Amino acid sequence: MNLHLTRSGEPLPPPPIDVVLASQSVGRKMLLEKLGIRFRVAHTRVNEETITHADPTIMLKKRAAAKADEVMRHPRVYTISEEFKTLVITADSMAILGKKAFGKAVDRSDAREILKALMDKTHAFTTAVVVTLFVGHSPKQKWEKTVTTKVTMKKLNSAELDSYVGRYDFTRFAAGYALNETPWDLVTKIDGSYTNVIGLPFEVILPIFRKLEIIKPPGEPTGYVMTPHPATPVKNAPVIKKN
């Protein structure tokens, strides 16, 4: 039994904001876990493949917004609190090369063709993020941001490409690769946000978390604390250039 005791006449403090990641992305879930915050995952009923546009960036924005709107229209389906605050995160990511966008591969053969199209080139990896703050079932504030990172891949011969596709399940990731699972020598250069390429740019998320006190600096008596971990050198790691 959990008892919450306060001094006479003092109200109980409000519960922490319920953070909901409305995404099936393995990478986004991993990034939030790295922050050490409490959150839950919800899968929206939006069929993003039906949302298309000639401009890939606009398409990503529409898909992320559609997922946020789905939660907004059906708060009980996604167990949004009727009384307290909830922060819902939705996003969509793709690699863009010229006018062509590359989402998740349908199978390993498709993953091979995507990687073949991207290798030995620099593409734009773009993520559209929508973060919505609910108070009860009412949306009170919304943040919308699109982040793009330039990613360069090495050229693979046919045997190397077959080996990579056979060893890793690239069908789970946008553009058929993931920085947190793909062999380090596949990506040779990253210009921009590293976490964006995994699917959730911290440049967008962390200021919101700090503003809402979901994360607090070390030394604060309440909230979550971010503790930096020393970097582990990785052999043949790609060059990362920050904006």
Q: Report the chain's mean pLDDT, rounded to a whole number.
A: 86
Q: Which residues contact 204 (CB under 8 A, 6 or more apart)?
A: 129, 131, 143, 145, 147
Query: What is the mean predicted confidence (pLDDT) over 216-242?
Result: 52
Q: Which residues pair with 95 in a beta bridge?
A: 102, 125
CB of 145 within 8 A of CB of 204? yes
Tens of pLDDT, residue by residue over 65-113, are 999 999 999 999 999 999 999 999 999 999 999 989 999 988 888 989 9
Hey, which bits of 76-181 come out as E strands?
A: 85-97, 100-102, 122-135, 138-153
Distances (CA, A) of 137 to 37, 54, 88: 22, 34, 12
Q: Does residue 238 or residue 133 have the better pLDDT?
A: 133
Report residue 241's pLDDT band, with 50, 70 and 90 as the boundaries.
low
Look up the pTM and report it: 0.82
Query: What is the mean predicted confidence (pLDDT) over 134-143?
Result: 96
What is the distance between the alpha carbons of residues 242 and 229, in angstroms, rounded to a whole number? 19
Q: Does residue 6 or residue 77 have the better pLDDT?
A: 77
Residue 195 has pLDDT above 80, yes or no: yes
**111: part of which helix (H) or strand (E)?**
helix 108-118
Residue 195, amino acid: T
What is the distance between the alpha carbons of residues 102 and 172, in angstroms, rounded to a whole number? 13
Tens of pLDDT, residue by residue over 142-192, are 999 999 999 999 998 999 888 888 877 778 888 988 887 766 678 999 999
Residue 237 has pLDDT above 70, yes or no: no
pLDDT of residue 171: 81
